[in-house]
Structure 1
Amino acid sequence: MDDLSDFLRQRNIPEETIETMLKEKIDTNVIQLMTDEELKNYLPSYGDRIALLGYCKRKENGPLSSRKSKLFERLKSKLGKRKTAHEDGCGMENEEQSETTVKKNALKPKRKIEIGWMLYDEEQQAFKQVRARRGGGTRKVEISKDAKKSELIQMAIGLFFPNGRNREGCIADFEIDLKDYQEVAIDDNITVGQMFHVTKLSILRFYLTTHKKKANQSIGQDEVMSSPLFQDQDSSLSQPSSSSAVNVAMTSQSTISTAVTSDFLFFGNITNHDNINFSLHSTELREEDLDSSNIVFVGPFSDSEPQILDDTLPISPQSTSTAKAVKKILIVHRGQVLPELIAHFCDDGLLDKDFKIQLVLPDGTPEMGYDDGGVVRDCLSEFWKEFYDQCTTGNTYKVPFLRHDYGQQQWESVGRIIVFGWTREKYLPMKIAPVILEQAAFGQVKSEVVENFLKCLSESERFVFQSWQSDFSSVDKEELIEILDNHSCRRMPTASNVNEILQELAHKTLVQEPAYVIEQWAKTLSITGNSFQDLSLVYENLQPNARKVLRSIVFPEEMNAHQKDIQKHVSTYIRNADLQHLSLFLRFCTGSDLFLDKKILIEFTKIQGFLRRPVAHTCSCVLELSMYYDSYPDFSAEMNKVLESNVWVMDII
């Protein structure tokens, strides 16, 4: 109670009030159980009550924290005593265990090692280790004790240059060597096991060193052969599965010469497309598949755009002239759509080029879907779903927030993706608040800012603000002040200033805070903004609803009794579906989670039993349904399982 009295005197509380509280035995525990009205009898000032409650909470947490620290100290002392006793009494036993461990390691065919990457710094004239955030870091792997320098180099290339290139450039652009933990070059003939025996270390560390080649240095065929693009590496030496590469093994000399002399460029991963028969069970390209290829494969890249033909493979002048008309294939991995698509569109000239998208499964298997619109729509849907989760805040409407790892290049890339989706498929990220896109496209706001702002808030905050607008006397003042404080509002709310304060908060949230993002998006949106002048109408048209979806579904003109029953099931399912399931249904059938006014053609199959399931073709927007459903609940349950599984693979060309 003495501490409480001192605190109250510091707040200039009258002495008679303090004496009254002491007489009534009001301490910190009692205060926390009191309502605000009860506490108001002693402290009329709202600020004093808030300060007193904060003081009580700190007092409650203080002893607990000190108690925890004392417990930790006691635990440390006990552990220290136990360790000392163990060292004194069991020294010989530890030595025997150590010798046993050494013997066991000597019998193992593989040993764990650490591998890092060092890049030559031209300014400091020295090798510098590359950090993990730039694609380097220290990797721990297992390798055979019989492995030599060449195998270690090959493994390191697979780790730090997974697609044959990284943000620093292509592997063929560097002079490569391998050094030990002392940064001394390793002998070509010494094995990993011999190095463990000589150094007596529990784990060895190696560094892949790369030094940029001079301009006059050419790339030999042996270097091309040793590149990871032409190696089928062991899975234990490759990068993690979340970003695993789809490498194609070129095993014969004739295959390589064909790749060199054709109009076929290799950037990143090589996957399935319309002119190559790609076997899911084989990583070998046949020579006849390359004869008529006119395709450039562009894997994910970050800082620099892919090299042109002259810098990649030695080809004839005739082939160089045709390289400008080459069609590109953008490789995008499932689960990595957001960073990889942003990396692709960092190329400011990509919008002017004709390209298609190849999706790759997380296990490295390319999806067999042929990109005739459906793959692009599906890729855009997945991209914006990840973007909303990782780069925005808000509820119904989203607002981009600044990330430390997203600079000018990344935000400009997102702006190009917006333009690409609109010009290619009329797809627009309609969860982004319209005010933001209007400011970026037209340089001014056309929508109602406060209305946009309220849709960015949670339902509870929106309800409080709307109550404030309609009837100030009915609002919980404490909750209102707390919400305004969370939005950094510095004004006291009244019945007369509600519109003014909401206008200020809305402008700060939707225009001022994302101003940098809007500035980068404006570089591309301002050019194509005229194509969606009435943004509110565009948003309304893209929003799915049951009436629009039912209007877009086309059934065969002639149907039997079973087929007519399925028609009724489909209509009932669409009418009962909420917005989330409507979006999933549209994405399953068309690739897009928005309504793009695509006609969905219904075809009937006779699949029954265990194999029965809905099958969709997103490019042609065809939905295949079995005729054999016993009832509507049977149909609805199966459709929900498919849509909610979130595991859709494009395995039909």
Structure 2
Amino acid sequence: MGQFEDFDFSDADFSQRDIADKSINDLYVESKMTTFRLYLMTSKKQRDGGESAIDDPDSSGGEELPDPQLTNVHVEVASEIATVSSEDPLSISFDCMPDHTTEDNSAAATLASTLSLENVTSEEVVTISDAPAGSILLDIQNYMYDPEIEFEPSQVFGNQDETLPASVCVKNLVIRRGSVFTDVMKFFLKEEFNLRTDTLELRILTERGEDSGGVFRDAMSEFWETFYLKHTEGADVKIPTTVHIMKQEEREAVAKPLVLCFKQEKYLPVQLSRMFLEKCIFDTAPSNEELLESFLGFLPDMDRGLIKDALDNFDGVDENELLDAFSNFNLRVYPSKDNFESL
């Protein structure tokens, strides 16, 4: 319909009434609707005399283009030649042009019209530097020589399966509120799921909601809360436990939701011990200081305060209280000032 500058834009409601001066809250109160839709309205700018901008024959937004009057012109673009035939001025062939330009005759006419028709002689070569400002030639140059696009040299790898892009597969899973952990675990134990290429979309039974990230995060929050409750121990820091009710393949299957949560939604169960996660992911050995910090987070608040006080001043802590705290860990070595930190 014309150039962007030839139009005015405004927000409107369903009745095409301009609502730019109202807030979202005002609109909801006024309409008394649970869902309120906004629309983008466009109108032609009016010039003096009531004539719209795009009705002006001299406006650049018109569809009429000047008839090119060229004989035979070669346009050189980075060693590639574009030829304008005298028989068909609108027939231009570019070996390195994008598809949408070669198929559009208007682009060819624009190219022809941007050249200096009076000064171009037969068989004359016009380079990029000679093109006028705003010429399609400069657009071609920018298209082919975008500084933000870089191509690395091609390489041949040994395992082609790891380098070739695989097709993305979206798998759907219907889960039940209150049984998310069970449903997700059954899915990963039975279904083939490629963590590199596959994505998972969740739908909660009896609840309407399109999974654009929110449903997935909500469901996985319940998944990890159940995992914390049933299969970990600890206060602020959770340590996974190997209990008889969870088989080895089930414990290993928990790794897939862990990776998938972070891959899709950058969701990480932060209550799991950092030492545990680093060991699983990077196979690193924590230092004694890191282990002590993680252990203190594992303890209940009362025992944590007692242990911290004993580390700072062992003689100032009640011995019986200290023994009670350590009895939960089946400690068989009597604590003293010298061995307390290592214990």
Normalised by the length of structure 1, the TM-score is 0.26
> 1 or 2, which has the higher helix percentage?
1
> Could you say which structure has the larger radius of gyration?
2
